[in-house]
Amino acid sequence: MKLRDSPSACPSLWRSLRCPAAELRLDLVLASGQTFRWWESSPGAWTGVMGGRVWTLRQDRDRLWYTVYGEEEEDERPAEAAKLDSAEMDQILRDYFQLDVGLRGLYRTWGAADPLFQSVAKDFPGVRVLRQDPVECLLSFICTSNNHISRITTMIERLCCAFGRRLCCLDARPVHAFPSLSALTGVDAEARLRALGFGYRAKFVSGSARAVAEGLGAEGLRQLRAVPYAEARRVLCALPGVGTKVADCVCLMALDKAEAVPVDTHVWHIARQRYGAALGGRSLTPRAHQQIGDFFRGLWGPRAGWAQAVLFCADLRKGQELAGSRERAWGGRGRGNHRDGPH
């Protein structure tokens, strides 16, 4: 199957919805370590997996263009992957990018409250938080501890190829769905993950998949969207390999907790050095996590996690320019610290 990278080349296969660049910048959002399933398939075109389907997205002036690929074995696809009409596809995109949230107004509010945000954000419009599948987000961010985006992306690709259902093949590249919980709970799952290069993370990925499958289930995990932030974080932190930071990433990017502020050593240093906030002691304890999150929630308001996403993206771009491929991931530590262990 050929990639459909240009609406002008095959207009009947493309649809669009109105979305100004100030509300969404694909290049900033899809490459900023929130998700690891998208790649730039040609200049300005992003191809990836969303909702069990393969999409290519483009932006043109104030339109977001998209095309969706059919599965190779359409008779064998699960019921939830049945063919969608255009309104349903539009809604999937709106939900994934949370396009009902007006970003420009939020930027103005955050800039008025925080001069540092205002000085940075002018060069980084359209950075918004994705609303991802909770299972995929959870297991992906377990892989981010002490890691960087290039390596995480490779690990997630191996995970999907080994355990996920094949969706289609684009320009000789096979594309797979994210694995189901049941696919990752087999007795040999941890050993297979170790063989794929997951190291100590293998037991946490398979262990959390098993814990969710035997406990809440995928639907129960999704229903954490309806409980208070503190309760959702408490439930997540009880899972293997999930500490406060990874839990906050999942709360923010999958469970509708816009106030969640993922804190790593880098964010801690920003709070202390750029904002003069004397928070935390000699180490980044759970109490320090709470204090730093509360500080930013007090500064930026109820969508503090979204504001941090903008600064994180700006910092990541600067880091990429300085250090090439050694990017810092949302769930990983700052560059230069590679001590093993979950957090």
Q: What is the pLDDT of residues 116-167, one digit of tens each?
A: 999 999 999 999 999 999 999 999 999 998 888 999 999 999 999 999 999 9
Amino acid at the residue 220: G
What is the sign, positive or negative, of the torsion defined by CA atoms of 297, 303, 307, 308?
positive
Q: Cα–Cα distance between 143 and 148 in angstroms, integer?
A: 10
Question: What average pLDDT score do residues 4-13 get?
Answer: 75
Q: DSSP strand E in the chain: where?
A: 15-18, 38-42, 45-50, 53-60, 63-69, 166-170, 173-176
- Report the mean per-residue pLDDT for the chain: 89
| pLDDT at residue 225 in the model | 98
First-to-last alpha carbon distance for the chain, in angstroms, is 41
What's the pTM?
A: 0.90
Active site residues: 245
Residue 208 has pLDDT above 90, yes or no: yes
Residue 73's pLDDT band (boundaries 50, 70, 90)? Answer: low
Q: Which listed CATH number (3.40.50.2300, 3.10.129.10, 3.60.150.10, 3.30.310.40) goes with 11-76+83-101?
A: 3.30.310.40
- Short-list 41, 242, 16, 21, CA closest to 140: 242
* pLDDT over 80 (residue 243): yes
Q: Are strands 53-60 and 166-170 parallel, antiparallel or unpaired?
A: unpaired
How many helices (H) and strands (E) in the chain? Answer: 14, 7
